[in-house]
Amino acid sequence: MDILFTVAAMSLAVMLSVFVCLRKSGAPGVFFFGFGCFLALLSVTGVLAGGILPARPVAMLAVLTMPASCLMIFFGMGAFLGRSSPRMPVIAAHITVFACVTALLEGSGAEIASAEIGAAAACCLLAATGATLFLHWPRHGAIAPYLLFCFATVFAAALLNGTALAVMLSSEKELGDASGLRAQNLLDAGLLAMPFVFLGIILMLHGWMIAGLRKLVAHDDLTGAYSRRTFLERAETLHSLMVTLGQPMAFLLLDIDRFKQINDLHGHAGGDRALSHFTRVVENCLAGRGIIGRLGGEEFGVAVRIGGRLEVAELAETICREIRSTPAVLENGTTIALTVSIGITLAERNRSLSDIMVEADSALYEAKATGRDRFCMADSFPGPASASARALAGAAAQLRQAAEGTSHLGSLSETG
């Protein structure tokens, strides 16, 4: 048995160093988990030192530190799941009260009673930890297999301590008989299970970090929209699904009008605020019907499940109206008026996503050339526009505006 406790002590020592390193990761609950691992290490070390040190102080150490370790696990799980975390005085008060009760029982010679209280406390705290994880299972920010392993190890340790408690309560004999030996073996098994519990916790935190990295890669850090790569992957998946189901889908290419002028007038900080505001407004208009990604600069893509031409036209008109009527507000109170031009393509079975995006790009240039702050469908003008055709269309539109006295500053080829 000593070899098992030696391996457990070595495992807990290694895991304690892992928790120390994880403190710099910003993972929630790491302090509590690390403190709990330290207390579990003390408990295992106390059992190993039982042959050298006096038996009663060693037994008291094990009875005290094991439930205290479970208490730290409970607090750490609450912090990980976003629940309120107690302050150090509250933690110290919990441990002090339990230590006083244990000392009184040990002083009265009630060895079985102190062991029963320790097993009961460990069982209840571990069961509460598992229940908290089950009831507040994080849908995002974690990896399910790692959470499941952590959940299983916590409940297994709780079951071992609960079984040991049941054996002790069902026997009226001392710990030296067969029932007492079974109870002691179960208590030892519960203690030996702690390295597996902390391994599950480390995997859970590891999954949290992986999920955070995935989110960082998948989203644009400025606007919160999908990154270009992730958006194209998800749009391709949505397109394939809609083709398989025989349902319509639309691709919208959005470009903020005259964004360079916004940067020139308000600086890049103002431009960043405008991009973030623009993304929020478009997401509100989508209302969960589609996805939005930042393709580059002030250009965004939207893939949406739609009922047909009329519905996608209504959506595009809503986006244009909301962007127009909801200016971005800077920290100093300055407002930035925004408008957007949108190119739209309805997906069909015989076209790939890249073809759809090319047609949406042509429609976007048509919307720019005909005055901006509007949308245009790819099949509403004859044929895809070439680069020269786009330039000519833009020049013609600005010449018409100049003739009407409404020309904007900028070169004739500018369609931003």
* Structure confidence by residue, pLDDT tens digits, 213-258: 888 888 998 999 999 999 999 999 998 888 888 888 899 999 999 9
**Sign of torsion over alpha carbons 70, 74, 75, 79:** positive
Give the count of domains, the chain.
Answer: 2
Shared domain check, 260 and 151: no
234 within domain boundaries: yes
Shared domain check, 247 and 160: no
d(CA 225, CA 290): 12
d(CA 70, CA 86): 15
Shared domain check, 354 and 242: yes
User: Which residue, 289, 296, 279, 276, is CA-closest to 227?
Assistant: 296
User: Which residue, 14, 120, 25, 15, is CA-closest to 71?
Assistant: 120
Q: Which residues pair with 301 in a beta bridge?
A: 253, 293
The answer on pLDDT for 191 being more than 60 is: yes
Quote the mean pLDDT of the chain.
81
Range of the domain at 259: 228-384
| Residue 219 DSSP label | B
CATH of the domain at 248: 3.30.70.270
Q: Which of 167, 198, 218 is the last residue of a domain?
A: 218
pLDDT at 175: 47
Shared domain check, 246 and 148: no
**Minimum mean pLDDT among 17-21, 82-86, 133-137, 185-189: which range?**
82-86
- Percentage of residues in the chain having pLDDT higher than 90: 41
Shared domain check, 310 and 257: yes
Q: 208: buried, middle or exposed (CB in 10 Å: 19+, 13-18, 0-12)?
A: buried
pLDDT at 201: 95
Shared domain check, 210 and 129: yes
| Residue 64 DSSP label | H
139 within domain boundaries: yes
Q: For the segment 267-281, what is each residue's pLDDT rounded down to a tens digit? A: 989 999 999 999 999
Count of positions (residues) in the chain:
416
d(CA 24, CA 346): 48
What are the φ and ψ backbone dihedral angles of 256, each rounded to 5 degrees? -70, 130
Shared domain check, 122 and 197: yes
Distances (CA, A) of 212 to 26, 124, 215, 234, 385: 11, 32, 5, 19, 42
Token pair belonging to 188? 């030892």
What are the φ and ψ backbone dihedral angles of 396, each rounded to 5 degrees? -65, -40
CATH of the domain at 142: 1.20.1070
407 within domain boundaries: no
Distances (CA, A) of 91 to 95, 102, 103, 378: 6, 17, 18, 65
Going by DSSP bridges, is the β-strand pair 335-336/290-296 parallel, antiparallel, or unpaired? unpaired
Q: Which residues pair with 329 in a beta bridge?
A: 335
Half-sphere CA count of 270, side-chain side, radius 13 A: 19
First and final C-alpha spacing in the chain: 75
pLDDT at 108: 54
pLDDT at 302: 95
Q: For the segment 354-374, what is each residue's pLDDT rounded down to a tens digit? A: 888 889 999 999 999 998 999
279 within domain boundaries: yes
**Minimum mean pLDDT among 140-149, 168-177, 397-406: which range?**
397-406
**Minimum mean pLDDT among 141-150, 266-275, 281-290, 324-333: which range?**
141-150
d(CA 61, CA 68): 11
Shared domain check, 243 and 150: no
Token pair belonging to 414? 């500018």
Shared domain check, 234 and 94: no
The answer on pLDDT for 412 being more than 60 is: no
Q: Report DSSP letters for 304-339, one per residue.
A: EE-SSHHHHHHHHHHHHHHHHHS-EE-TTS-EE---
414 within domain boundaries: no
Shared domain check, 139 and 157: yes
415 within domain boundaries: no
Q: Which of 218, 248, 274 is the last residue of a domain?
A: 218
Shared domain check, 259 and 158: no
Reported as type and span, the H/E element at residue 95 is: helix 88-107
Residues 91-105 as b or e (16 or more Cβ within 10 Å = b): beebbeebbeebeeb
Q: Which of 151, 185, 218 is the last residue of a domain?
A: 218
146 within domain boundaries: yes
pLDDT category at 88 given cuts 50, 70, 90 is: low
The answer on pLDDT for 9 being more than 80 is: yes
198 within domain boundaries: yes
Distances (CA, A) of 100 to 29, 60, 103, 105, 366: 27, 11, 5, 9, 80
Shared domain check, 323 and 258: yes
- 20: Cα separation from own chain's centroid: 22
Distances (CA, A) of 37 to 43, 45, 69, 288, 316: 10, 12, 7, 43, 56
